Structure 1
């Protein structure tokens, strides 16, 4: 199977694209909240994250600006591990991810629960540098890279889809590279804006 989604160009470089000022957050001051529609809200520091089970993944990385880099090596904690501890409520079906500096992006909860979605702190065997979102960024390798929020600060679980920064400016509400979901064409389907409880 071809590893390069349609419209993408392979590069050996790893461009750094950031809108606005780059937040500077030290490992000592970094905190992550898991909040919203959860039974047990969490607040973790960097040391707490390192104390959790660690995984390494090698995944391809696809930017909506049409470049792809293959075989990027990450290390971190699976997002699903944190969500298991926070215990999402039945009506939680979507997520708004908040970053230091004010950036936000949205995800479906099912996307966040995939086994290769990480809170990543290591890139190619070295601590994640600030310009790439360190000390900790979200990695969502099956979606375009703007969903892999840098400098992640909070994961907020919701019963509806709330658009993030780029999504409000016209980027697609999901961002699947294989479907070239770069920009939202036409209205967002009503079913995507609010989800029913899984028990109804």
Structure 2
């Protein structure tokens, strides 16, 4: 039984719903371990690895262009939420301020609390990807990754790391937390890439 907050879609709504997903009007909270609690003014985004080391403060991130996107999100635990609205800094607006070194092909996303997840640069540097600090017009709640999280809507939502604290650029793919624990290295919901074979 799906319960009153989840429903099996009658169709894929024009290709919007990946295989195996149910729709929800809620925003489930799924987190491994304790929830970090960081004041927004204390947030720093550290850059290192195959990039010139740098740190962006909350104020510096807020001074960058702010963009609002509305898109569908899909969790590996089989729920999808349609038409979610997020505001933040586009990854493509941040990247010109980061001086990559030769050989960088991937980025390991680091979070306050120790969480990590991996992305190829091709998946990371997209116009729709945000360092989001607002959800539905309001500051992002702590349980959903506030003050700031990454949002990568074309992949399962575990790739959209909560409480983002750093970007480590690397020269090959490496597993992050859930990838080391059996999740797929990429996580495309439309290919049903939930778990490693």
TM-score of the pair, normalised by structure 2: 0.91
Whole-angstrom CA distance in 2 between matches of 1:41 and 1:82:
14
| 1:54 lines up with 2:54 in the alignment | no
Whole-angstrom CA distance in 2 between matches of 1:26 and 1:87:
28
Counterpart of 1:25 in structure 2 is 38
Whole-angstrom CA distance in 1 between matches of 2:94 and 2:169:
12
Whole-angstrom CA distance in 1 between matches of 2:80 and 2:32:
19
**Shift, 1:88, TM fit:** 1.8
Whole-angstrom CA distance in 2 between matches of 1:97 and 1:132:
16
**Shift, 1:89, TM fit:** 2.2
Listed as ranges, the gaps of 5+ residues in structure 2 are: 1-13
Whole-angstrom CA distance in 1 between matches of 2:111 and 2:18:
27
Q: How does 1:76-95 map to 2 (within 5 A)?
A: 76-95=88-107
**Shift, 1:90, TM fit:** 3.1
| 1:12 lines up with 2:25 in the alignment | yes
Deviations 1:42-67 (A, max 9, x none): 21111111100111100101000000
Counterpart of 1:168 in structure 2 is 180
Counterpart of 2:53 in structure 1 is 41
Whole-angstrom CA distance in 1 between matches of 2:54 and 2:190:
34
Measured on the aligned residues, the alpha-carbon RMSD in Å equals 0.9
| 1:178 lines up with 2:190 in the alignment | yes
Aligned length in residues: 184
Whole-angstrom CA distance in 1 between matches of 2:92 and 2:104:
14
Whole-angstrom CA distance in 2 between matches of 1:4 and 1:137:
23
**Shift, 1:100, TM fit:** 0.4
Counterpart of 1:2 in structure 2 is 15
* Matched residue SS, 1:98: strand
* Matched residue SS, 1:28: helix
Runs of 4+ in 1 over 6 A off after TM superposition: none
Whole-angstrom CA distance in 2 between matches of 1:87 and 1:177:
31
- Choose the corresponding residue for 2:141, options 124, 129, 135: 129
Listed as ranges, the gaps of 5+ residues in structure 1 are: 186-200
Counterpart of 1:103 in structure 2 is 115
